[in-house]
Amino acid sequence: MADTAPTLKLTSDGAMKVLQAAMGKAQDMGVPQCISVVDAGGNLVAFCRMDGAFAMSNISSRRKAETAATYGIPTGDIPEGVDMKLAIVTDGQRVNLPGGLPLIVDGHVVGGIGVGSGTGAQDLEVAKVGVAALEGAQLFD
Return d(Cα 129, Cα 17) in angstroms, integer: 10
With the CA atoms of 92, 35, 117 and 112 taken in that order, what torsion angle do they form, in degrees rounded to the nearest 10? -50
Q: State what percent of residues in the chain have pLDDT above 70.
A: 100
Domains and CATH numbers, the chain: 12-132 (3.30.450.150)
For 11-32, how does the pLDDT look when each residue is reduced to its tens digit (9 = 90+)? Answer: 999 999 999 999 999 999 999 9
Return d(Cα 137, Cα 114) in angstroms, integer: 15
Q: What is the DSSP letter of 57?
A: H
The low-confidence residues of the chain, meaning pLDDT below 70, are: none
